[in-house]
Amino acid sequence: MRIVVALGGNALSRRGEPMTADLLRANVRSACHSLATLAREHELVVTHGNGPQVGLLALQNLTYQEVAAYPLDILGAETQGMIGYVVQQELSNILRGERKIANLLTTTVVDDHDPAFEHPTKFIGPQYSAEDVAEVAADYRWTIGKDGNYFRRVVPSPQPIRIIQADAIRLLLDNGYLVVCVGGGGVPVKADSQAGRQSGVQAVIDKDLASAALAEEISADTLVILTDADFVSQDWGTPQQRDILTASVDEIEQLPFAEGSMKPKVDAAIRVAKAGGRALIGPLDRLDELLARKIGTEIRADVPDGIVYA
C-alpha cells in the first residue's frame, strides 16, 4: 500500500519546549520509532511541518541587521533541509539499512492572487504571552493571532495547486525508496509555464493540504495526518462535543472547524477522499491504534451512515 504520513511541526517541537537541536532530534527519533513498522511494510512518503522552526529562523534572522532578513521562501527551504536531514538520518538508524531513504527538497505551486495573502492564518514561530504580544507585534510589524491560551505570528497560507517534484517522488517510490519530502508544505512558488520560470512567494503552505495534493498526484491509497488530538471533534470545546470515528465527505464538509488548526487537516482529508483514497487523522504516539481504527478519525467517500461517532 502507498501511504503518505504527515508529521506536524509541533510534534517535532512540542509546546512549551525550547526549540533546540537536541530536542528536535529526540522528538524526530520518537516519531520515527512510531513509523518503523509502516516503513518496513508499505511504500511510504513522510512529510513534515515547519511552523515552529521557520518562525525561529525568522527571529534569528532579525538579530543580524547588517543585511536584509532572508525571505520566507528561503527560510522554508532551510527548514526542509534541517528537519529532513534529521528525519532521514533517524529513520535510517532505526531501520538499519532495510530501506533506501531519499530526502527531497520540494517546491509547491500556489496562486499569487490567492485570497490567503489578504487574510494570514498560518501560525509560525514561538508562543507569546498576552503581556508580551503587543511589544512583539510593534517591534517586528507582524500580524499576530491567538493560538489556544497564547499568541503567535501568523503568515499567509495559500492553497497548494501542485507539487513540482511529484513525478520524481513517484519514480523514487517505484524504485523502492522511502521518500522524505514536502517539508513545511514545500517552498511556495509561482510558476509561469509559458516563460518556464518559477519564483518564490512569501508564505508558508499548510503541510497537510500540500501532503493531500501530493497523495492525489502519486495515487496514494492513504493519507495519515498525525497530530496531538485523539479525534476530529464536532463542536470541539463545548458541552456538545462529539468525537468522530468515521465520516463521509458529504457529511464532514457541512461541519465548521477552526482555521489554522483542524480545518486544514479536514480539508486535506476531504481532498484525498474525493480522489478515491482515504485519510486518517489521529495521535502520533498511538499510530498502531489509529491504523487499527481504535482511535482517530477516518474520512472516506463511502460511509453509509454519514458519520459514526466514537
Summarised one tens digit per residue, pLDDT across range 103-122 is 999 999 999 899 999 999 88
pLDDT at 122: 85
High-pLDDT (> 90) share of the chain, %: 65
Half-sphere exposure (Cβ direction) of 101: Cα atoms closer than 13 Å: 26
Return left, alpha or beta for 16; rule: phi > 0 is left, psi -120 to 50 is alpha, else beta: left
Determine the average pLDDT of the residues in 68-93: 92
Compute the distance between CA of residue 231 and CA of residue 307 in angstroms, rounded to an integer.
Answer: 13
pLDDT at 57: 85
Q: Which residue has the higher pLDDT, 194 or 214?
A: 214
pLDDT tens digits for range 281-292: 999 889 999 999
| pTM for the full predicted model | 0.90
Predicted confidence band at 267 (pLDDT cuts at 50, 70, 90)?
very high
pLDDT tens digits for range 22-68: 999 999 999 999 899 999 999 999 999 887 888 888 888 878 778 88
What is the average pLDDT value for the chain, to the nearest integer?
Answer: 91
Determine the average pLDDT of the residues in 138-164: 89
pLDDT at 136: 83
Residue 9 has pLDDT above 70, yes or no: no
pLDDT tens digits for range 210-263: 999 999 999 999 999 998 889 999 998 889 999 999 999 999 999 999 876 789
Residue 70 has pLDDT above 90, yes or no: no
pLDDT at 11: 67
Compute the distance between CA of residue 141 and CA of residue 231 in angstroms, rounded to an integer.
Answer: 36
pLDDT tens digits for range 167-179: 999 999 999 999 9
Match 537541536 to its residue by C-alpha cell: 21
CB neighbours (10 Å) of residue 156?
Answer: 22
Match 520566507 to its residue by C-alpha cell: 72
Residue 193 has pLDDT above 80, yes or no: no
CB neighbours (10 Å) of residue 26?
Answer: 16
- In sequence order, what are the residues at sequence separation of 6 or more whose Cβ sits closer than 8 angstroms to the Cβ of residue 185? 49, 50, 76, 108, 157, 160, 204, 205, 206, 207, 209, 210, 211
pLDDT at 150: 86
Q: Which residue has the higher pLDDT, 134 or 244?
A: 244
Catalytic positions:
9-10, 122, 207, 265
> Measuring CA to CA, which residue among 164, 168, 163 is closest to residue 179?
168
